[in-house]
Amino acid sequence: MAGDGKAHIVVLGAGFGGLTFCKKFRHPDARVTIVDRTNHHLFQPLLYQVATAGLSAPEIAQPIRSILRDAPNLSVLLDEVADFDLPTRRVLLKQNALSYDYLVLALGGVTSYFGHPEWEEFAPGLKSLEDALRMRRDLLLAFERAETEPDPKACDALMTIVIVGGGPTGVELAGACAELARYVLRRDFDHIDPAKARVILIEGSPVVLSHMPPDLSESARRQLERLGVQVRTSCRVKSIERAAVHLESGETIHAANILWAAGVSASPLTRKLGVELDRAGRVKVHPDLSLPGYPNVFAIGDMALVLQDDGKPVPGVSPAAMQMATHVAHIIEDDLSMGPGAAPRSVFKYWDKGTMATIGRSAAVAYSGPIKMHGFIAWLAWLFVHLVFLIGFRNRLAVFMQWVYSYFTYKRGARIITNWPPKETPGTQAPNTTDMSKLREEAAPRVPFSG
């Protein structure tokens, strides 16, 4: 107990799990500290829209302090987790140290390269706002470069986007990239036709969106192909280097932009907990979501491995993280009211409300229980659900207006390149420049635009 006699609950991470815990948990004898390494909650389901210039960064991010402004007995701390000392009930942060009575781990996941961390440099993933802004810059820069690239092969590579991974993120990225090229950029260039850009979605398994019913997977594939996306299923990546994907079939695809949407693993901080993890780094929690040996420490969301009755793990989606947060909030409230161990703790049950993925303007797939939707109706459902859950009134309104505007005009408001050109001054980002010279066949490139 803290000096003021109140139990101290420390929550690590302000994603969907951590934030939901802070909103649901209420107890007069407790105070809560929530720690995040950024100052904002990120609405991750729309991150691909920032990466493809549909939305601006502040439209999908909201300051954590603003969201939790009215929560009583709650502190927000901008800091990063460095290490844990579970036996003495302490968390070491980069700037501070915290003692806790209860600890809620909600640190989320990171992009995983299945043992090939060297691919990250050439095939960036999409987990943070910085990832999205960098992706936006690199996608837009490739078209600008293609406009003045004299060599046809290098130009083709600049206008090729490969997305690795056919899950929801990969499908959404592929659809949004195809729309960006075919509709948004189409009329803006003189020397190239952006509508001829190739968008290639690579998936190792036989279907995209393999977590969905087979007819919806098939529908998603058809909707992607209608947008011009080449969908390659049962297609495996052998290796990735700068601007080139080598497939197991022996084929090589040259592409200035290779986007990685193939895997997520738990935050690497789970390795510092000293408890058993699965291959994806997730904590094998008890059925009440507490850590083995530490009934006052809980893991929720993407970093927790929770098995359902059918033996499958609860999926790493935001509704699951939010349900886990609510479950843990009730357990700690009961502990504080009745004393620890007074009653057996309840077992977490995941309620699958359904799932959806958008493919483009008027194109999506969705199901909820027995209801399956695809095409325009699914897209409307997707819009509605995402607007309702987008945190913060202003963001909701701004995002809605953006969507209406984009829908009717095919323009994208956030189509700007930042952190470019690179400056030599300290504090400036050095972008990942792609050298196309290897691909050029002509000895001397012609000088375009000369009068």
Residues known to be catalytic: 172
The residue count for binding its own copies (CB under 8 A) is 83
| Residue among 83, 118, 130, 248 that touches its own copies (CB under 8 A) | 130
What string marks each residue from 73 to 112 as x (binds its own copies by CB under 8 A) or -?
--xxxxxx-------------xxxxxxxx-----------
Nearer to its own copies, 279 or 446 (CB): 446
Distance CA 21, CA 41 (A): 13
Is residue 292 within 8 A of residue 286, CB to CB? The reply is: yes
Distance CA 106, CA 402 (A): 31
First-to-last alpha carbon distance for the chain, in angstroms, is 78
Nearer to its own copies, 185 or 331 (CB): 185
Is residue 243 within 8 A of residue 256, CB to CB? The reply is: yes
Residue of 268, 301, 240, 330 whose CA lies nearest to 44: 301
Nearer to its own copies, 48 or 100 (CB): 100
| Residue among 12, 14, 107, 140 that touches its own copies (CB under 8 A) | 140
Nearer to its own copies, 75 or 326 (CB): 75
Distance CA 243, CA 59 (A): 31
| Residue among 33, 160, 257, 290 that touches its own copies (CB under 8 A) | 33
Span of 62-70, 201-209, 227-235, 379-387 interacting with its own copies by CB under 8 A: 62-70
Q: How far is the CB of 436 from its own copies (least distance, A)?
A: 11
Nearer to its own copies, 284 or 396 (CB): 396
| Residue among 12, 47, 48, 147 that touches its own copies (CB under 8 A) | 147
Taking CA 64 as the corner, what is the angle to CA 58 and CA 67, rounded to the nearest 5 degrees? 95
Q: How far is CA 219 from CA 171, 358, 396, 434, in A?
A: 12, 12, 29, 35
Distance CA 121, CA 129 (A): 17
Per rule CB under 8 A, is residue 408 in the interface with its own copies?
A: no
Per rule CB under 8 A, is residue 416 in the interface with its own copies?
A: yes
Q: How far is the CB of 45 from its own copies (least distance, A)?
A: 17
| Residue among 388, 426, 443, 444 that touches its own copies (CB under 8 A) | 426
Q: Which of residues 153-212 bind its own copies (CB under 8 A)?
A: 185, 187-190
Q: How far is CA 200 from CA 103, 161, 434, in A?
A: 43, 6, 19
Q: Which of residues 427-446 bind its own copies (CB under 8 A)?
A: 427-432
What string marks each residue from 339 to 378 as x (binds its own copies by CB under 8 A) or -?
----------------------------------------
Distance CA 413, CA 62 (A): 19
Per rule CB under 8 A, is residue 387 in the interface with its own copies?
A: no
What string marks each residue from 1 to 30 as x (binds its own copies by CB under 8 A) or -?
xxx----x-x--------------------
Say how far residue 117 (Cα) sits from the centre of its chain. Answer: 18
Per rule CB under 8 A, is residue 447 in the interface with its own copies?
A: yes
Structure tokens given for 253: 């695809």
Is residue 50 within 8 A of residue 58, CB to CB? The reply is: no
Task: Give kind and range of the element (H or E) at residue 360.
Answer: strand 355-360
Distance CA 291, CA 130 (A): 32
Taking CA 375 as the corner, what is the angle to CA 372 and CA 380, rounded to the nearest 5 degrees? 85
Span of 127-135, 172-180, 323-331, 372-380 interacting with its own copies by CB under 8 A: 127-135
Span of 159-167, 295-303, 363-371, 426-434 interacting with its own copies by CB under 8 A: 426-434
Q: How far is CA 80 from CA 22, 35, 92, 125, 381, in A?
A: 18, 7, 9, 21, 37
| Residue among 224, 285, 328, 398 that touches its own copies (CB under 8 A) | 398
Span of 205-213, 227-235, 316-324, 416-424 interacting with its own copies by CB under 8 A: 416-424
Structure tokens given for 15: 């994603």
- Residue 183's φ and ψ, nearest 5 degrees, are -115, -45
